[in-house]
Amino acid sequence: MTAARCATRVPFERLAGWWLREPGPAPGADDALEEHLFGCEACTARLEQFAALADGVRRHARAGALRGAVTPAVLERLAAEGVGVKRYALEPGGSVACSAGPRDDAMVVSLRLPASAVAALDAASAAAATTPPWRLDAVFSSGGLGPSGRVEDVPVASDGAVHWVEPGAYVRTLPDHVLEIRLVAAGPAGDSEIARYTLHHSARGE
């Protein structure tokens, strides 16, 4: 199901900051965002998704229910609340050996985008009202041994990365496999690959 689109397209991290009561980027910005949310079904739906994630984030992580793209603020909150998080960071085209041990409540993979792609996303957001929309999708492929499928409209954090969380309990059930993640720009003309990343998962968690 495709959610309603927003011409303004408030950045995901701005919505998260507003929900977590972080100060707005300028005087009056919070009031303007609140007014926008009252009239925008798409942004309200995105905010509700984040609120469900952020509300009781420690409980969700330890229960194995925390999965998806999150902001650095959520990662900081997880650390502050004592959640066991194993983190991996990948540059475009990079690969890493990964696993989840018995103390890892969650595994985070930070996928850094090329600077040109971040600039293009910013430009697309600014011109959304006058140009055909496009979005950033994540495509997962693991030969049926791990996560697979497509996630639409993946948010990019202000540090130029997608921070993807998987429950540690789920990761520990997976056999050895190779997971390929592709970030693609999905638009009216089809997909255009931005970057790909490879994770070599070991079932022998450490």
Q: Is residue 96 pLDDT above 90, yes or no? A: yes
Contact 80/72 with Cβ under 8 angstroms? no
Q: Please give the CATH architecture assigned to the domain spanning 58-201.
A: Sandwich (2.60)
Query: What average pLDDT does range 104-131 have in this prediction?
Result: 78
Q: Per residue in 165-192, is it b (16+ CB within 10 Å) or e — as a string?
A: bbbbbbbbebeebebbbbbbbbeeeeee
Task: Give domain limits for the chain.
Answer: 1-55, 58-201
Distance of CA 164 to the CA centre of its chain: 5
Phi, psi (degrees; rounded to nearest 5) at 111? -105, 105
3-state DSSP assignment of residue 32: helix
pLDDT in tens, 44-91: 887 777 676 666 555 655 555 567 888 888 888 777 777 888 999 999
Report the pLDDT value the prediction gives residue 124, as an integer from 0 to 100. Answer: 66
Residue scoring higher pLDDT (33 or 24): 33
In 3D space, the residue among 97, 111, 100 whose CA is nearest the CA of residue 69 turns out to be 111
Q: Is residue 109 pLDDT above 90, yes or no? A: yes
Which range among 57-61, 122-126, 139-143 shows the weakest confidence by mean pLDDT? 57-61
Q: Per residue in 28-44, is it b (16+ CB within 10 Å) or e — as a string?
A: eebeebeeebeebebbb
Q: In which band, very low, low, confident or very high, does the pLDDT at 141 lie, cut at 50, 70 and 90?
A: very high
Report the pLDDT value the prediction gives residue 19, as an integer from 0 to 100. Answer: 72
Contact 200/96 with Cβ under 8 angstroms? yes
- Following DSSP, what letter does each residue of 118-133 receive, concatenated? HHHHHHHHHTTTTS--
Distance of CA 178 to the CA centre of its chain: 20
Phi, psi (degrees; rounded to nearest 5) at 42? -65, -50
